[in-house]
Amino acid sequence: MKNIFLKMLSLTAVISIFVWADAYTDTQPAVGDSAPSFKLQDQNGDWHTLGDYKGKYVVLFFYPKDGTPGCTTEACNFRDNIFAFDDLNTQILGISLDDVDSHKEFSEKYSLPYPILADVEKESAVDYGVLGKFMMMTITKRESFIIDPDGLIVKHYKNVDPDKHTDEVIEELKSLQKKA
């Protein structure tokens, strides 16, 4: 009996390593909806709201954890293209569940020139439908939203490849601005 229990426990552990659990997120805002508001602190302890960026496009990228390989790649790719985003009247905002101190260390280590917001209460992750579990940890899923200058969601990226995402976002912003 003990061996059967240990085998079942091991199988459960292996499955939890490879499977996302979406127990927290039932709904997400849709393209065309008003973007959920937020009030969050950045890596310097300064407060940010979505309203602070009215009149600009906003790229809101949710990522799982400071300092992990995919998150670092994605954050640095946004950093390396910051002038392209400035030219497109776009503010980059990163969000994870990490705290302000973790964000400060991450931001300083990689010289990130944009705010990284600490959603320690998980409110924004829930509002945007990106809260999940991975390996027994509660994290935000790697998803992004483009919000237009009027506060409407105009693009939602559910399957983000950290290596290619920045280029996709720049092309989408160019396309949106040509239409406008």
Q: How far apart are CA 177 and CA 167, in angstroms?
A: 15
- 76 belongs to the catalytic site: no
Cα angle 44, 114, 166 (rounded to 5 degrees) comes to 150
CA separation for the pair 150, 49 (Å, rounded): 14
123: part of which helix (H) or strand (E)?
A: helix 123-127
The residue annotated as part of the active site, out of 35, 71, 118, 139, is 71
Catalytic positions are: 71
